[in-house]
Amino acid sequence: MSIQLLNKNTDVSKDTGSFEKKLRNHRIKTIGIVGAVLLVLILAGSWGYIQVRNRSYETYEVVRSFERTDTVMTQYTEFLDYVLKYGKDGISCVDSNNKLIWSQTYNMQTPMVEVCQGSVALAEENGTDAMIFDQTGLQGTIQTRLPIRQISIASQGVLAALLEDGDIMRLNLYDKKGQELVTSKFELQDTGYPLRMSLSADGTKLAVAFLQVKDGGISTCLAFYNFDSVGENQQDHMVAAKEISDIVVPSVKYMDDTHCFAIGTTQLLLYEGKQIPELVTSIELSEEVESVFYSEKYLGIVQKGEEEGYLLKVYDVKGQQKFETSFDMDYTTLKFSKEQILIYNEFECMMLNEYGKDFFSVTFGESVSNLYTLSGKNKYIVMHASRTDQIRLR
């Protein structure tokens, strides 16, 4: 009996060893297959990334054309997947097929428009009328007692209006229906003159750049206001301020709910904060800034190049430089459009992808007033004097 039992144990041990060996080989084979698949996917992804990053186009085709019925004085701006057309007599919103989405008439000699995501603010510069729109049309109207100097709009339709009242600048906030929410004021002898203001996308914070003249010299005061509970106990809702000597800061902008930048003659400042903004980084600029443009994710600046031409730098909201490139086109317009950068003048155009590569350049046979990126593959709107073209790059 004992001999037979020993043999059975030996057989079981052999079977167990064989099973473990097969299981180990199966695991090794599976790991090898998974590794090979991952390697293929990584290589395919890398190849796709390289293809997208380096793709370029030689020409374009006109897909559709529409006759233009607006005047030469009409101005345009992008709004979601639409285009806003506005002038002295009214504003309209059209889609990529030139189909009217909504329109509104008015009488304004110098209309100014601000867009934030799905909201639009329009006001007459130095006038007393303002309007708030979303993608369905007019939401509210505002009539002030004092002349409007600047406006800024938040994503949900909150409007900030800077009003001039002699030696005082008054700041009023309105909801999308035109009801007054907050009122504040700036004594010019104390704060200086407000060069630029910007409301955060969530409508709770405001950044203002004040120009100050002291003892024959100039400086800028960057002031931050909070209209939420954090700023309730602060004088005029101001929660932070920074004085910058010997620098003019003509540009300050909230890019989203929490990130704000300010650009002076020789300095770029980036702030971040859900309630009280704090300085994230300060970048010294060796050359004067020629142009500033931005999206919700990136900030671009253009400076004079070392020789003839321009140097373009793009940063993220943290101040990390995304790329730097040079170009020599004398441009009239430079902007982010979707994920791309469009640079153009009356006849020439160049397009940069999100990595800074020039993937398409062209000289149009007719003058161009505006250029926009459409949703979809390599499609654009080109506005000529008498018509609007939809084009596709090839």
Res 71: pLDDT: 76
pLDDT-flagged residues of the chain (< 50): 1-6, 49
20 assigned to some structural domain: yes
Q: How far is CA 264 from the centre of its chain?
A: 19
Tens of pLDDT, residue by residue over 279-311, are: 999 999 988 899 999 999 999 999 988 777 999
Q: Residues 380, 62: contact at Cβ < 8 Å? A: no
Q: Which residues pair with 286 in a beta bridge?
A: none
10 assigned to some structural domain: yes
Element holding 194 (H helix, E strand) = strand 193-199
Res 50: pLDDT: 53
Res 2: pLDDT: 44
Res 1: pLDDT: 43
Q: DSSP H helical segments within 92-187, as ranges? A: none
Tokens of 126: 């130095």
How far is the CA of 147 from the CAs of 113, 123, 143, 158, 300, in angstroms? Answer: 16, 10, 10, 19, 32
Res 306: pLDDT: 76
Res 16: pLDDT: 60
39 assigned to some structural domain: yes
* Whole-angstrom distance, CA of residue 147 vs CA of residue 162: 9
How far is the CA of 353 from the CAs of 75, 316, 336, in angstroms? Answer: 26, 15, 10
Res 29: pLDDT: 75
Handedness of CA 70, 74, 78, 79 (dihedral sign): negative
159 assigned to some structural domain: no
389 assigned to some structural domain: no
* Whole-angstrom distance, CA of residue 381 vs CA of residue 373: 6
46 assigned to some structural domain: yes
What are φ and ψ of residue 162, in 5° steps?
A: -100, 120
40 assigned to some structural domain: yes
Q: Total structural domains in the chain?
A: 1
Helix (H, G, I), strand (E, B) or coil at 21: helix
Q: Residues 91, 111: contact at Cβ < 8 Å? A: yes
What is the pTM (predicted TM-score) of this model?
A: 0.82
Query: Could you say which DSSP state residue 146 is in?
Result: S
Instruction: Report which residue type is found at 163.
Output: L
Res 4: pLDDT: 47
26 assigned to some structural domain: yes
Query: Could you say which DSSP state residue 156 is in?
Result: T
Structural domain span for residue 39: 1-53
Lateral strand order in the sheet of 168-174: 148-153, 159-165, 168-174, 180-187
How far is the CA of 215 from the CAs of 190, 195, 197, 246, in angstroms? Answer: 14, 20, 25, 12
